[in-house]
């Protein structure tokens, strides 16, 4: 079922935090690790959190709590349920309490947390549209100590694809590739073993779902975008990306547009490891 009210504005969040039933707030700031210029340190989400975060937010680490170790299942495979559940309870997440997730503005990491909570059965989770830069209130540097939550993750609340399911959906439905167009076409591949795309997949770069400020396009515009790309006749829809992070953001964009979509978490980082799997290159899906 499509998630209603999948995103929230900063003003709505401020009202909710001041209300009688404030949401649990998760800070999931993260950046994709790629080759850095000499002397440039990698992004440290925990340090960014310590330097200032929305009051009451708890930091959640994407690499260790929203994913398991890289390997045959990709660069950001599903986390162990015990690890994910413990992280959510530590942050104060309970089944009956709303959850709001934000990151540094790109939206990818926040969407990954949103998708995982939905997939494991949380009924009320949203992403702060525009992330931390959209917040106009004060920040704090002290870490809160919320009461332990009671959330117990139960898989199955959102669509999940494996490699075979993604390949089948590319033939029988619509499979969107959320990576940049040049990676889809196989012109460059800065991270994974080989460039290109899953045969039959349609290029739908995540960065075209919103503006430079990180906010999503209006729902009507997103619906028109995805309709033009083939999600128009009720066929099943799936999404993949490099490692199941930006793809979660596309699933979120589809939810805003009123379209259900499944996520291939292993994505290209899993698909491309197996040399027996076919690879298409160029702008043509086939």
> What are the catalytic residues?
241
Q: In angstroms, rounded to a whole number, what is the distance separating the alpha carbons of residues 81 and 151?
A: 11
Cβ atoms of 102 and 54 closer than 8 Å: yes
What letter does residue 23 receive in the DSSP assignment?
A: P
Name the CA dihedral angle for 46, 48, 49, 53, rounded to a multiple of 10 degrees. Answer: -170
Residue 71 — φ and ψ, nearest 5°? 180, -145
**Helix, strand, coil share of the chain (percent; to 5):** 30, 15, 55
* H or E element in which residue 203 lies: strand 202-203
CA-wise closest residue to 14 among 30, 25, 29: 25
């Amino acid at each position: 079922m499509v998630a209603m009210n999948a995103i929230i504005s900063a003003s709505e969040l401020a009202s909710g935090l001041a209300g009688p039933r404030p949401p649990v707030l998760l800070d999931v700031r993260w950046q994709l690790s790629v080759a850095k210029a000499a002397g440039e340190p990698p992004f440290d989400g925990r340090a960014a959190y310590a330097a200032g975060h929305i009051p009451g937010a708890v930091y959640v680490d994407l690499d260790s709590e929203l994913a398991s170790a890289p390997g045959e299942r990709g660069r950001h495979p599903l986390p162990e349920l015990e690890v994910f559940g413990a992280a959510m309870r530590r942050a104060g997440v309970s089944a009956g309490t709303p959850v709001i997730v934000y990151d540094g503005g790109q939206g990818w990491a926040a969407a990954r947390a949103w998708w995982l909570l939905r997939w494991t059965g949380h009924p009320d989770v949203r992403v702060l549209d525009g992330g931390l830069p959209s917040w106009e209130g004060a920040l704090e540097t002290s870490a809160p100590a919320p009461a332990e939550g009671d959330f117990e993750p139960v898989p199955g609340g959102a669509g999940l694809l494996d490699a075979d399911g993604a390949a089948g959906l590319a033939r029988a439905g619509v499979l969107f590739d959320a990576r940049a167009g040049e990676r889809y076409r196989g012109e460059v591949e800065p991270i994974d073993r080989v460039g290109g795309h899953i045969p039959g997949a349609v290029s739908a770069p995540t960065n075209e779902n919103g503006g430079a400020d990180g906010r999503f396009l209006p729902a009507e515009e997103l619906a028109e975008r995805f309709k033009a790309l083939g999600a128009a006749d009720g066929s099943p829809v799936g999404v993949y990306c490099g490692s199941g992070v930006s793809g979660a953001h596309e699933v979120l964009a589809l939810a805003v547009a009123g379209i259900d979509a499944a996520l291939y978490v292993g994505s290209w980082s899993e698909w491309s490891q197996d040399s027996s799997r076919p690879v298409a290159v160029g702008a043509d899906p086939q």
